[in-house]
Amino acid sequence: MKTISKISFACALAVAASGALAQKAGDNIVSLGLASINPDAQLGTVTSTSASAPSAAAFTAQLKDASVSVAGKSTVPFSWLHMYSDNMGAELSLGIPSEFTQDLNTPNGTVKTHPAAAKLKILTPAVIAKYFFGEAKDQWRPYLGLGLTHVTFTDIKTNTADATVQALAATSASFKSSWAPVFNAGVVYNIDDRWSVIGSVAYLPIKTTATFVGPGMGVAVTSTGDVKLNTTDYVLRVGYRF
């Protein structure tokens, strides 16, 4: 009877070990979840130009030391990971773009004087190389990732009900698309040989140039400035291996 019990126990261990197999060479894993996106926005020096020198000077002075802030948002991310070995994989990551609200703080960036000055959507599809620690049979697998994203800004809307924003950007507003690195770390919990839960954090140091064109004080004014969006993403996903 003891022998049978030992054999049963050994079989149970074997099944448990094989059930945790995941992230091994040749695997494809798709995942879906929820992400919290938290940009830390920084505005560089804004320079205004115009056919009217006084108008350009007035806008340059008004925007001196101005700052911007962008509120965090949640979105639904999904990804596809292909494992080239038991430890190395490459992931394509996408997400449903959320609408972000940008506040403009003037004068001298000390007060939120122009809330919701602009609204825009940010797309950050990324390709990330990942290294998984441990072995394919492990239930917990931490990893580190390094990748690249192409950042695109769309659906930009300015708050023309605000007189300053109207003068600054009623004609057009744009943010230049750019490339940015992606620094990624996370851990996978393998529920069984098919399903897993993934928790991760990513850091994207995004840089762009903002260009605003407005009627100014009767003569068109173009204002440009560099913007940094040092973004931290916290992600929780459910994965399925096939």
Amino acid identity of 100?
F
Q: What's the whole-model pTM score?
A: 0.86
CA-closest candidate to residue 47, choices 168, 225, 232: 225
- The pLDDT assigned to 15 comes to 40
* Range 201-207 average pLDDT: 98
* Range 3-10 average pLDDT: 41
Tens digits of residue pLDDT in 207-238: 999 999 999 888 899 999 999 999 999 999 99
Residue 60 confidence class, pLDDT cut points 50, 70, 90: confident
Looking at the predicted structure, is the pLDDT value of residue 13 above 50?
Answer: no
Looking at the predicted structure, is the pLDDT value of residue 1 above 70?
Answer: no
* Range 17-26 average pLDDT: 69
What is the token pair recorded at 109?
């960036």
* Range 61-81 average pLDDT: 91
* Range 113-126 average pLDDT: 92
CA-closest candidate to residue 87, choices 14, 22, 20, 147: 22
34-38, 84-88, 103-107, 147-151: which has the minimum mean pLDDT? 103-107
* Range 66-80 average pLDDT: 93
Residue 4 confidence class, pLDDT cut points 50, 70, 90: very low
2-16, 46-60, 184-198: which has the minimum mean pLDDT? 2-16
Looking at the predicted structure, is the pLDDT value of residue 119 above 80?
Answer: yes
For 198, the 3-state DSSP assignment is strand
Domains and their CATH numbers in the chain: 22-241 (2.40.160.20)
Query: Interior CA angle at 64 toward 70 and 220, to 5°?
Result: 90
Q: What share of the chain is helix, strand, coil (3-state, %, to 5)?
A: 15, 60, 25
